[in-house]
Amino acid sequence: MSAAYKKLFWGVFFANIQLHFGAITILPGFVGFLIAYSGLSDLDMETETASKSFDLPQGTLLALVILTAIYSAFNLFTGSQYETLPLVAFIPTLFSVMELVAFHKILEVSVTEFQARDFIYGVEKYSRRDRIYILLKGLSALLLTLNLVFSSPVILVAGTLLEVAAIIYLLVIFHSLKKDTEEMEIEYFTDLY
């Protein structure tokens, strides 16, 4: 499980932090979502709880891979000239909501898995962290959506700061999940032998 969370960590990292070399984006956002999707597939194989729980986050991450790839290609060929079209302007909101769905569901399944393994400390810790993540990501998506209509620098700055906070917080969660599951796995094997 810890290797899967490591992949999820790097997936979130590369989905949000993009490297540019001149006009070329070396690692576009969809690559990050692809890494996260691969991590989630690994997690699916290693968990004991119902694998159906992963259908929604897996489907959402796959949709994010495809849609962000199309969006990047669209922007590459048309520049940013269509970004102010009302429907196009709301696409980042859609991506934000999809991220929220995928990562909240991953955290939810992780908590269910901890419950199944009687890892009570993990259940409480990650339920609380999931709640904070929903609040940070939800509030940032809400403010950035409002900013599309009102174009207020105050709303934009607040929304962007919350978005950055949500990304960093999610990275912290996956890093911590990796560590905790590592310890859990060591304890499991120690008990076994």
Partner 1 sequence: MKVNNRLFLSTLGIISTIAIIGLLFLSYIKLDEPLFFEHYYEQQVTVLSDGDLDSHGEEFELKYLTNAFEDKTVIHVEFPEEPDLAVQASEYPFGISPSSTPTPEETKGPYSVRTVYVQPLELFGAEQFDQTTLTQVKLFFSDNSSMTVDIGEVNFYTVSPDQLDTEPLNYFSSTSTSEGDTSHFYEVKSEVTLTGIHSEHLDKYADWINFKINDQPLETWIGKTFQSGETISGSSEMVENRSRNILDRFTEIKLRPELTLTDAEGQQHTSRTFEIEDREAFTFFNLLEYVKARGAL
How many CA within 13 A on the CB side of residue 125?
13
Closest distance of CB 132 from partner 1, Å: 10
Both tokens of residue 103? 């990562």
- Nearer to partner 1 among residue 3 and residue 88 (C-beta): 88
| Amino acid type, 104 | H
Minimum CB separation of residue 8 from partner 1 in Å reads 18
* Cα–Cα distance, 28 to 77 (Å, whole number): 15
**Residue placing its CB nearer to partner 1 in the complex, 15 or 143:** 143
Determine the longest span between alpha carbons in the chain, in angstroms.
Answer: 63
Beta carbon of residue 42, minimum distance to partner 1 (angstroms, whole number): 23
Residue 80 or 190 having the CB closest to partner 1 = 80
Q: How far is the CB of 116 from partner 1 (least distance, A)?
A: 13
51/152 with CB nearer partner 1: 152
Q: Is 33 helix (H, G, I), strand (E, B) or coil?
A: helix
Residue 4 or 111: which CB sits closer to partner 1?
111
Q: Which is nearer to partner 1, 148 or 171 (CB)?
A: 148
Q: Is the CB of residue 12 less than 8 Å from the CB of residue 170?
A: yes
- Minimal CA–CA distance to 166: which of 15, 23, 39? 15
**Shortest distance in whole angstroms from residue 149 CB to partner 1:** 4
Q: In whole angstroms, what is the distance from residue 175 CA to residue 170 CA? A: 9
Q: How far is the CB of 55 from partner 1 (least distance, A)?
A: 16
Tell me which residue has tokens 């995928």.
102
Which parts of this chain interact with partner 1 (CB under 8 A)?
A: 81-82, 84-87, 90, 93, 97, 100-101, 104, 108, 111-112, 127, 130-131, 134-135, 138, 141-142, 145-146, 148-152
Give the span between the Cα atoms of 120 and 128, in whole angstroms. Answer: 13
In eight-state DSSP terms, residue 53 is: G
